[in-house]
Structure 1
Amino acid sequence: MLQRIRNFTDNTNFTKAVMVTIAAALPVLILSHFEMFEIGFAISLGALLTYPADIPSNLVHRTKGLVTASFIVAGCIMAVNLLHPYPWIFYPATIIVVFFLSMISVYGQRATMVSFSGLLAIALATGHLHTGWDILIYTSYILSGGLMYTLISLAFNYLSPHRYTELQVAECMKLTAKYMKLRGDLWDIDADRAGIVEKQLHLQVEINLTHENIREVLLRSRTHAENSNRSRKMLLVFISLMEILELALSASFDHSKLHEKFSAHPKVLTTYQNLAYNLASALKKISNSIENRKKYVKKHQLLKDVEALEKAITEYENELGKEAASEGVWMLSNMLHYAEKQIEKINIIERAFTTSIEFKDIKERDKDLEKFLTPEYYPVHILKENLSFSSTIFRHSLRLTMSIALGFVIGLIFPLQNVYWILLTIVVIMRPGYGLTKQRSYQRIIGTITGGIIAFAVLSFVHHPVIIGTLAIVCMILGYTFTAINYRIGATFVTIYVVFVYGMLNPNINDVIQYRIVDTAVGALIAFIANYFLWPSWEFMNLPVFIKKSIEANRNYLTEISLYYNKKGTVTTSYRLARKNAFVEIGNLMSSYQRMVQEPKSKQKQQQQVYKLAVLNHTLLSSLASLGTYTQSHKTSTASEAFNVVVNTVIKNLDHAIALLTMDVQAEEAHLANNEELAMRFTELKNIRARELREVHVTEEEEFRLKMEEAHLVIEQLVWLNSLSEKIVKAVRQLELTK
């Protein structure tokens, strides 16, 4: 239990919750002693409104984001207060500002959170109006609160500048270990392979998000001299984790065939599965040592596991005889080689946390690392390009604007106590996707009702302001911590602390609870209905784009593998970028699929076909990773003409699938003309490769055997790649026909 509490308090979400609680509570506590509660409350409000824009990044971008949010919040509050006395100006102007703030989300996550802060400010400002010079004074307090939160956030950063990166790397290790464990589960003879693949696809979404967080913080911060060595160490670990994931994905063994072949010799497979599990367990143990700030001590003797597998292979060969066991030994040797490569990468990570290591390999890559980051620039043309109904953000902005307008109308017609709670609920709940909005609506209503009941029960027995204030601060910390982890629990604690604060200010707490629940329900209902009826962005409309991007990313990855196989040398930046994008896009496709299954059944069009394409693209990526890993870890011969013909055919198949998604008729005709040549090439491919090898005078029997082994491996992968690409074309064609 103590360890769980420690892990909870060491979490980044908890740290941010403590920061915002300090920034919000201190002004109120200090200034209340000098009978300046309203000033303290205004400063506190400024801190609370700026807090959402505090997302992980390097220090410069983080500071710019928080300062920008502080001024936008202050500007929005000043505009609402200045214009509110003039309804014919106030309502049209507010609607325009709401739409503009919503639209700046096109510039990425940081812009989205700055936009969210501005929208919250508009909603809250309608419930805290001022006149005359008080507007300027009140706005200055709000601004000072935002800047104060910025300073507190930066101070916490200096107290523990590397902790977020360490926790993200530890989380990345944990997710990678989980992925490897799933690969190990495939070796069970009665394994639910379809279910395991689905889990891997869902896990890829989480892994992609963690990778992006690490890149954002680690790569943008690497130039700072004061943390250079530490950053380089974490960067080396991160690169090793990327390579471990690629290796895990590349181990695309035919498990059914292997179980059938070794049914009479199960020991070799169970020995390998044990090794696979220990590889995952070793990574998990390293991640635990990082999370708990403990020195890493090796638990698993991976080299002994390798020796055990080598012994099992030898026993298998001796039992069957060298000739009869040759094919099986070749298969098992591939598995052994994969495990050795994984151990090599894990050893690099272990050394990073136990001994001093050299960074020459990382230094050579430093100049190219910026290419792995999402560029942070905000050209006007991106905003213009999104001003159409084809843009999800544009639809969402219109929907949110109309919902806010409806909230204003309801506030004018019905005698509600706090109309701004309706607006706040709309802003907090409404998301571009129907599924997430529905989920948040449900969670917020349940959280509000639960929190209201708990708060009412506590206030019925506790009346001392110090105790209530202490409980409010505790609930505030827990509320902001859980909001990012479990929104329903977060909403419960937030409601409790809001009611506690009102309980100290207003003795008639029953009305507060009643109106908060009613207003929250009204706001949630508006958001839910608007997302269903006002220009909905159903996910099936966006899925073809994600499918297309995933196919394109795999095609580009194959192109880079082909270039490397033909030219040899070192792995280029373009190769690593193509690999990264292939991983990212399969995660994006699965994320889109996840959003679709949260929508009404009537809107889950072609669900099975979409999932089939996600699985095919994941399998294709696995095969590509296998081919890419083999070409990097083996000294390969010159690529044959037949190899290039087949690779080009696979690329043409993928281009054809893309053309079908984009309704390109000419590409369809070109694809059909290519099939005859491919059939001939596959028939002759192995003979061509053997002849080519003889022509270059490979006379040594062992060397020729290795060359033929390479040819066999590469040909097997090419045949499988071509089969997968044809299946993708077929699946895309069926997807288009059933539209």
Structure 2
Amino acid sequence: MREKRKIYLKTNLRNFRNVFWRYPDRLFALRSTISMAILAIPFIILGIPYYGVTLALGALAGSLSETDDHPKGRVKALTITILSFFISSLAVGLLHNYPLVLGAGFILSTIVFILLGGIDERYRTITFGSVLIGIYAMLSVEISPAWYWQAILLPAGALFHGLLTLILMYLNPWRLLDEQMAGGFITLSTYLEKKAMLFPSRKEDQAAINKDLAMLNINVVNSLEKIKDVLNNYGRELKNPEVLRTYLQRFMLLQSLHERAASSHERHDKLSNEDDTIEVVEGFGEMLRQLSYATRQVAENMLTGTPYHHPLALEWISNAIEDKLKEMDENKAQPLVLLHHNLHRSQISLKYLDNPVEGTSIPRLRQEERSAWERFRAQLNLKHPRMRYALRLSLTFLIGFIIEKQLQLDKGAWVMLTSLFVSQITYSSTRRRLFQRVLGTVTGVILGVLLLQIFTNTAAQVLLMFGSAMAFFYWLRKQYSIAVIFVTTFVLSAFSIITKDGGMNIMIPRLVDTLIGASLSFLVIRFLWPAWQYRQMPEIISKAMQKNRTYLLAIANEYKTASSDDLGYRIARREAHLADNELAQAWNSMRQEPKSKQKLMQHAFSLTYLNHALLSHISAFGVHRETNMPTLENFNEIVLQISDAINEASQLIKPNAQNMLVDLSPLLLELKSQIVDTASGLKKQQLRLLYNIAGTTSKIVDELEKTRKEIVNS
């Protein structure tokens, strides 16, 4: 019997690991839903559902306000969260009968909360939750048994959820780091899988693949930024940085793998169209797919603790490609040697994942150098995007509050709730959220009301409420429009449990308020600082080019010095990728803007594509900085000439720009001549890398000059 219990327990633990533990989104949804259920169900059973549902709403807001911190940091964050929730809900209770004072106070506090959220990512979630709690309090203040109950129940629900989360974190304090690190490897895996489609590929298909790669690169870089922030948060709370060594080394590995994955050594159509090289190119594609699988296995290792098993096929394919390259003609094999070396180093890094070099120093990360006050003060001007967002959101709230009071809307605070979720910093993001919110709410209301006609008893409605809550939390980080459907069914079932009317009386108000709130958000950003992307493009392109230049110079310095502390190099690489992301996002946002504002659309796309190509070629130059390549006699002159050309190009579409003084045509001819005259080997490979960088820079210059002419003519 005891043996059967052990088998049963092991089976359940294995099932839990397979269903939840290896999927952070599912685990987050389960944890949040359980905390809400523990709070609500006892009160529903006792026949006083208002208390239970209000506590659950507090837990929901607390879950949305979680910070990515070490347990010690979470204690501090939870203290601030509960205090801000208490002040926000208490103010609504005290001022409910004084609408003018309540409205003015809520709008001013919104501006303050939004700006405080701009200080740090950890404050951003807390301040968002505080605004959300204020709206929740407005929604249910009229059905509260007394004015003070919400100031007790909402913070209490958030406190319970926070304490439950803290207990789980203290049992496994490294779980958050494991989840973030695993997320980074998963985004890289997706990137590698897409890149494998280039080997082989047709020239006409490559533009679409490269566009997708630029978008996927945004996810990888954002994941790297998130991991860096979490590592810094943990580092602030831990006195001994040695305990973070393993995570820091994995982070360095992930950055290195990303640089190699993002690198581009040759034009892919040129590689794919050669009959003599097609077999090797297909091998590269399979090698990239195996690397994608391997990085997912690393993520699995970090999430579940299961050992990482290096794919045998990856090593076999790498050796097979190497043998094939040795059999090929040297001139045809030459462009493929560096690419193979790059991918081979990636597979070697993964193979010896758990065998780092002994005696290496702990890698350093860049820290925020500005104080909290300096970061807050930097936002206090009308040109700062966050200040503009705070003023737009508060204006939306003001108009919504006036409409609610003048028209005496039933549950009119939903107007502001919708505005809170729809309003975003950019026009394109707000427009996207508007359609997601409206579509999700309409679908959720129809679905919710239909289900409530079927599930008429309290027990069934409780199951519907918490099933909806779990689905909401799961989809929140994946697909916002689906999450809105389930949060709507959650709200309908919750109010049905409290009011016993099947939720029918809030169906129409919910739809009307959603349409009003979404429309207000859209109209306000349409006419108040919409920040059309065609106006931002010159500055964004210039910034991306300058960051590429800094990255190139940092690589050249590494070639010459090979310093053991490469923090400066890593910062330059990070900032180049962040600038490239900003450019790709700006172009993507331009596609969502009105047709009349999509000026320079084709040029923006071409420059986005070319900048990403330049960054890929510079990355290829960077991944080989440690291969003991011989320094060319005119190495400094070549790099300086390319650097000067990039610098001048960055100014080409700015107002009063001067004509280019640096012409790369002679350099390209010289490099091409040196490539032909140089025997195969590392020197020739270095020349090819520099030629690719110079060639892409020249194409960018041509495109920028076309763009400038169109700007002048228009």
State whether TM-score is above 0.5: yes
* C-alpha deviation, 1:344, in angstroms: 1.4
**1:258-657 pair list within 5 angstroms:** 258-259=271-272, 262-264=274-276, 266-288=278-300, 290=302, 294-316=306-328, 325-349=329-353, 352=354, 357-358=355-356, 360=358, 364-366=361-363, 368-369=364-365, 371=366, 373-374=367-368, 377-379=371-373, 381-508=374-501, 509-570=503-564, 572-637=566-631, 640=633, 642-657=634-649
1:179 counterpart residue number: 191
Which runs of no fewer than 5 residues in structure 2 stay unpaired? 1-13
**1:142-221 pair list within 5 angstroms:** 142-190=154-202, 192-221=205-234
* C-alpha deviation, 1:364, in angstroms: 0.7
Query: Does the 8 A contact of 2:193 with 2:289 survive in 1?
Result: yes
* 1:726 to 2:694 alignment: no
* C-alpha deviation, 1:384, in angstroms: 3.9
| 1:110 aligned counterpart, secondary structure | helix
Residues in 1 aligned to 2:69 and 2:175: alpha-carbon distance in whole angstroms: 13
| 1:387 aligned counterpart, secondary structure | coil
* C-alpha deviation, 1:203, in angstroms: 0.7
Distance 1:111 1:599, change over 3 A: farther
1:698 counterpart residue number: none
Aligned partner letter, 1:574: G
Query: Does the 8 A contact of 2:381 with 2:387 survive in 1?
Result: yes
Distance 1:478 1:684, change over 3 A: closer
| 1:78 aligned counterpart, secondary structure | helix
Residues in 1 aligned to 2:19 and 2:537: alpha-carbon distance in whole angstroms: 38
Select which of 41, 52, 56 maps to 1:29.
Answer: 41
* C-alpha deviation, 1:207, in angstroms: 0.5
* C-alpha deviation, 1:198, in angstroms: 0.9
Distance 1:458 1:239, change over 3 A: same
* 1:238 to 2:238 alignment: no
Residues in 1 aligned to 2:666 and 2:443: alpha-carbon distance in whole angstroms: 69
* C-alpha deviation, 1:625, in angstroms: 1.7
Residues in 1 aligned to 2:679 and 2:335: alpha-carbon distance in whole angstroms: 15
Deviations 1:160-184 (A, max 9, x none): 4333433433333233233333333
Residues in 1 aligned to 2:469 and 2:396: alpha-carbon distance in whole angstroms: 28
Residues in 1 aligned to 2:529 and 2:284: alpha-carbon distance in whole angstroms: 54
Aligned residues between the structures? 696
* C-alpha deviation, 1:131, in angstroms: 13
Deviations 1:52-96 (A, max 9, x none): 221323334433333222212221222233334334433333322
Residues in 1 aligned to 2:74 and 2:538: alpha-carbon distance in whole angstroms: 34
* C-alpha deviation, 1:9, in angstroms: 6.7
Range moving further from structure 2, 423-432 or 230-239: 230-239
Distance 1:3 1:555, change over 3 A: farther
* C-alpha deviation, 1:557, in angstroms: 0.8
What CA RMSD, in Å, does the superposition of the two structures yield over aligned residues?
Answer: 3.4
Residues in 2 aligned to 1:20 and 1:720: alpha-carbon distance in whole angstroms: 51
Aligned partner letter, 1:331: P
Query: Does the 8 A contact of 2:71 with 2:173 survive in 1?
Result: no
Distance 1:384 1:165, change over 3 A: closer
**1:240-259 pair list within 5 angstroms:** 240-259=253-272
Aligned partner letter, 1:524: A
Deviations 1:91-139 (A, max 9, x none): 3333222222233343243333222112212323333448999555642
Distance 1:224 1:489, change over 3 A: same
Distance 1:426 1:132, change over 3 A: closer
Residues in 2 aligned to 1:135 and 1:506: alpha-carbon distance in whole angstroms: 18
Distance 1:97 1:331, change over 3 A: closer
Distance 1:451 1:159, change over 3 A: farther
Distance 1:377 1:70, change over 3 A: farther
Residues in 1 aligned to 2:348 and 2:574: alpha-carbon distance in whole angstroms: 21
* 1:106 to 2:118 alignment: yes
Q: Which has the larger radius of gyration?
A: 1
Query: Does the 8 A contact of 1:433 with 1:539 survive in 2?
Result: no
Residues in 2 aligned to 1:186 and 1:462: alpha-carbon distance in whole angstroms: 52
Select which of 644, 655, 658 maps to 2:650.
Answer: 658
Residues in 2 aligned to 1:584 and 1:506: alpha-carbon distance in whole angstroms: 50
Distance 1:576 1:66, change over 3 A: same
Deviations 1:436-478 (A, max 9, x none): 2222222222222222222222322333212221221222121
Residues in 1 aligned to 2:522 and 2:696: alpha-carbon distance in whole angstroms: 41
Distance 1:462 1:430, change over 3 A: same
Distance 1:543 1:283, change over 3 A: same
Residues in 2 aligned to 1:647 and 1:275: alpha-carbon distance in whole angstroms: 32
Query: Does the 8 A contact of 2:438 with 2:518 survive in 1?
Result: yes
Give TM-score, length-normalised by structure 1: 0.85
* 1:122 to 2:134 alignment: yes
Residues in 1 aligned to 2:331 and 2:240: alpha-carbon distance in whole angstroms: 51
Query: Does the 8 A contact of 2:193 with 2:288 survive in 1?
Result: yes
Distance 1:264 1:9, change over 3 A: closer
Residues in 2 aligned to 1:548 and 1:438: alpha-carbon distance in whole angstroms: 27
Query: Does the 8 A contact of 2:50 with 2:498 survive in 1?
Result: no
Aligned partner letter, 2:217: Q
Distance 1:14 1:659, change over 3 A: same
* 1:65 to 2:57 alignment: no
Query: Does the 8 A contact of 1:426 with 1:526 survive in 2?
Result: yes
* C-alpha deviation, 1:567, in angstroms: 2.9
2:8 counterpart residue number: none
Deviations 1:350-401 (A, max 9, x none): xx2xxxx35646x5134x22x1x5568422x444443334222222222211
Distance 1:559 1:127, change over 3 A: same
* C-alpha deviation, 1:201, in angstroms: 0.3
1:699 counterpart residue number: none
Deviations 1:527-559 (A, max 9, x none): 222222233233333333432332122111111
2:10 counterpart residue number: none
Range moving further from structure 2, 37-46 or 476-485: 37-46
Which runs of no fewer than 5 residues in structure 1 stay unpaired? 317-324, 692-703
1:700 counterpart residue number: none
Distance 1:410 1:228, change over 3 A: same
Aligned partner letter, 2:129: S
Deviations 1:676-707 (A, max 9, x none): xx76666667999999xxxxxxxxxxxx967x
* C-alpha deviation, 1:238, in angstroms: 2.8
